[in-house]
Amino acid sequence: MLSRYFVYFIIYSFLGWIYETCYCTIHEKEWENRGFLYGPCIPLYGVGATLAQIIFIDSPFRILQNASYVTIFLVCSIGSIFLEYFTSYVLEKKFNARWWDYSDLPLNINGRVCLPFTLCFGVAGIIVTQLIIPPIINMLGHIPQTFIELLALIFMFLFGMDMALTVSALTTFAKEFERINEQINNQMAERIETWQANRVEAKLAKIEKATGRKEAAFVKRELTAEKIAEIKEQISTEAVKQWILNATETQRGQFRHIAKFTHPVASTKALLDKGSEFLRNKKSS
């Protein structure tokens, strides 16, 4: 039975990948290979559809098998909130990145879930349980259990390989950018200390004589903030370029994949933007 459900999970994950890729390709007007994994599989859809099948179709309770559209809508909507939020939270904590962000949409919770998409998932639950799941169950019902188990083993091998490759790429990517961030901070501290000792004090000495201590203190704050921003921009750009130039073609491919299909959070976002821009300019030249 578990092997059969795993096959269901892979099929629903593949259908979810087709839906989301087509939607995003049409919306962006260019090819978008969506999903967390490299392969054509989005586990979030697979988990949701498999749970819906277990609850509303395979359940031994007749009240759930004969559930009304309103019940299916409510259960799928509420279930999608917990599933999306938990998945987004785990991915962000593990890889410091988001694969979707609803911050610009109304009634969202930390950008992880929002009311419009929650309602869409509720409607999708009705469509999936009434139109998509039944023919798939009927199709697999004609396949011998031995073949199902063999198919499950093949899918499990491919899914495991894809998961291992993706996690390895993301982990390497995160560690590399953590190293770059640390390098930038160290260089920032050194350069700013040197700059403040040599240039700022010399300028302020002249300003203090002409305008007094209060104006000099104000100018110092303004110059320091502006120069710090300038130096940080220069260092971060140089560090990202150097990392990309020294990276292998495989690492560059991983960077393109991660930078294109994730929404980085906090300190990683600027570095991702610089890396993506540098690769685009290098490719066009």
pLDDT given at position 20: 86
pLDDT given at position 227: 63
pLDDT given at position 2: 86
Domain chopping of the chain, boundaries: 2-143, 168-284
Residues of the chain with pLDDT under 70: 36, 172-285
Over the stretch 165-178, which tens digit does the pLDDT of each residue have? 777 777 766 666 66
pLDDT given at position 175: 63
Q: pTM for the full model?
A: 0.64
Share of the chain above pLDDT 90, in %: 34
pLDDT given at position 117: 92
Q: What is the 3-state secondary structure (H, E, C) of the chain?
A: CHHHHHHHHHHHHHHHHHHHHHHHHHHHCCCCCCCCCCCCCCHHHHHHHHHHHHHHCCCCCHHHHCCCHHHHHHHHHHHHHHHHHHHHHHHHHHHCEECCCCCCCCCEECCCEEHHHHHHHHHHHHHHHHHHHHHHHHHHHCCCHHHHHHHHHHHHHHHHHHHHHHHHHHHHHHHHHHHHHHHHHHHHHHHHHHHHHHHHHHHHHHHHHHHCHHHHHHHHHHHHHHHHHHHHHHHHHHHHHHHHHHCCHHHHHHHHHHHHHCEECCCHHHHHHHHHHHHHHHHHC
